[in-house]
């Protein structure tokens, strides 16, 4: 079940926002969600270490993006929403709008982090 939520089908017909059918109204905190949260926290610790090194600015931005991506995927899994591998933070965030009323992160920040991560991965 969780493998389907994490990876789903190969990205065809992807919805930008979760549908009502996909939503669990009570978030589920289980070992899979806990593992993703622990991963996100490790990514954040790495981002903090890179932040202190001037030459590693892009590495730090990549780790910050990866941290947020991982947290967003944990939230999607906890809400019962499919979570395919995706580097686009805005796309992942949009899938949380329905299950989390009032969810409105700053799109400029999400897009800046996404662009920084893509620039790091493909210079």
> Domain coordinates of the chain in residue numbers?
2-121
Per-residue pLDDT tens digits for 69-79 = 999 999 999 98
Is residue 42 pLDDT above 80, yes or no?
A: yes
Identify the pLDDT of residue 3. 40
Identify the pLDDT of residue 26. 60
The closest alpha carbon to 58, from 3, 113, 15, 1, belongs to: 113
Burial of 95 (0-12, 13-18, 19+ CB in 10 A): buried
Identify the pLDDT of residue 109. 93
Say if CB 59 and CB 120 are below 8 A apart: yes
Query: Element (H or E) spanning 35, and its range?
Result: helix 31-51
Is residue 12 pLDDT above 50, yes or no?
A: no
Rounded to 10 degrees, the C-alpha dihedral 96/33/111/106 comes to: 50
Arithmetic mean of pLDDT over the chain: 78
Say if CB 87 and CB 114 are below 8 A apart: yes
What would the mean pLDDT of 34-47 be, rounded to a whole number?
Answer: 86
Is residue 62 pLDDT above 50, yes or no?
A: yes
Identify the pLDDT of residue 27. 64
Is residue 9 pLDDT above 60, yes or no?
A: no
The closest alpha carbon to 69, from 86, 94, 48, 82, belongs to: 86
Is residue 16 pLDDT above 60, yes or no?
A: no
CA dist 83 and 106 (Å) reads 20
């Amino acid at each position: 079940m969780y493998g389907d939520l994490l990876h789903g089908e190969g990205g065809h017909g992807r919805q930008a926002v979760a549908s009502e059918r996909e939503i669990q109204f009570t978030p589920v905190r289980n070992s899979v969600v806990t593992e993703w949260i622990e991963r996100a926290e490790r990514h954040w610790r790495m981002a903090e270490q890179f932040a202190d090194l001037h030459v590693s600015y892009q590495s730090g931005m990549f780790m910050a993006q990866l941290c947020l991506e991982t947290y967003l995927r944990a939230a999607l899994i906890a809400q019962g929403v499919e979570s395919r591998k995706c580097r686009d933070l805005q796309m992942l965030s949009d899938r949380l709008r329905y299950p989390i009323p009032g969810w409105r992160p700053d799109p400029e920040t999400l897009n800046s982090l996404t662009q920084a991560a893509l620039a790091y991965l493909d210079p």
